[in-house]
Amino acid sequence: MKFDKEIAVEIDTLTGEQLWGGTAKIQLINEKLYVVAFEKGTPTTWVHVFDTTGNKICDLIPFGRGPKEASMITTAQVIDPALCLFDPQVYKEISIIEDPVSGSYNISEEPRAREKWIWNCLKANDKVVSLYCPGPQSDETDMPRIVLRSSAGSVIDEYSGSPLDDEAPAVKFYLEAMRSCSALSNNAKNYAISYSDAGILQLFSISDRIKNTFTGFYYPHSLTLKDNQVVPQDKSRPFINTLYASESYLFASYDGEEYQKGDNRLLYSKIAVFDWKGRPRLLIKCDFRIEALYYSESDYTIYAVLVDSSHAYRLGKFKIRI
């Protein structure tokens, strides 16, 4: 599979201070970057707010299981003007809204029904799209499920099963490692899920049903399409580390390849950009490993959490036109 264009970029580092590992998402609201952690780290909060030049503004949402706290965050979605988070361990949604006058933040939360294997949920206009990933103790026949519900909670449609029916146990194993990720376009019409270690990417259209529009099987080293073949489990291979969905494009960061930079041997990422028909538009070779990214269509900027030459996590950006 050939991309329309392949380029190499150098990322400008914005933050002097070291961040943390395990970043889930970056979102941009009113010229502020909200960087949301996936794993507990230092400092002991989940959401970190910066301006677009990398200056730290504040930290929000402490670790914990109490009111206005979170034990894990797997969803960070903008529903203007709020940043909406989902905690799959405490089963609740958290909403953060900045007061435009005072600059203070109003934080509210809403409980959700307890559901087995739920991983994340995203609001699609008047509907909700949820991803369920079976755990290690589940039955071998359990497979990841995508469920579309009304705002009242009734099931509208469901998609379940392996991209390769005869490889179901293998694909299930990849998901047990919790390296699956998903993204919903900002117009809520398209949805993507990656089976990360397998290099599998699936695209869906979302309306009154869930329609699978594209399935790709990649060897991430070359990003070459391989029909009816799943990449073997191999920790030395790159994997899909994060997804970001805009109205027109899906950004998939393939992580894990090594290169020599001075005396250091570092990991770097390739960002593959697809349209929503699965056509490969742009392949971006970065000079750092990318942990999370956000694409600003207004000024053609990608903001990213990267791992630098000292193996520290920092905020960076670069310009790109597709």
Phi and psi dihedrals of 99, rounded to 5? Answer: -75, 120
285 alpha carbon, distance to own chain's centre: 19
- Extract the tokens encoding 296: 């600003």
Rg (CA), the chain: 19
* Angstrom distance (rounded) from CA 240 to CA 130: 20
Question: 195 near 204, Cβ under 8 Å?
Answer: no
Domain ranges of the chain: 5-319
Phi and psi dihedrals of 171, rounded to 5? Answer: -65, -40
- Extract the tokens encoding 149: 């519900």
Q: What's the confidence (pLDDT) of residue 234?
A: 42
The tens-digit pLDDT sequence of the chain (322 residues) is 688 998 999 999 887 666 765 666 899 999 999 998 766 555 578 898 999 999 989 999 998 999 999 988 888 999 989 999 999 889 999 999 999 899 999 999 999 888 888 888 899 988 999 988 766 555 555 667 889 999 888 999 998 765 554 444 444 444 443 446 788 998 889 998 886 555 678 899 998 899 988 877 654 444 443 443 433 434 444 577 788 999 999 998 887 565 555 555 566 788 989 999 988 899 998 888 888 899 998 899 999 988 877 777 889 999 999 8
CB atoms within 10 A of CB 237: 18
DSSP assignment letter at 287: S
> Strand, helix or coil at 170?
helix
DSSP assignment letter at 11: P
DSSP H or E stretch at residue 145: strand 145-150
- CATH class of the structural domain 5-319: mainly beta
* Angstrom distance (rounded) from CA 66 to CA 243: 30
pTM for the full model? 0.85
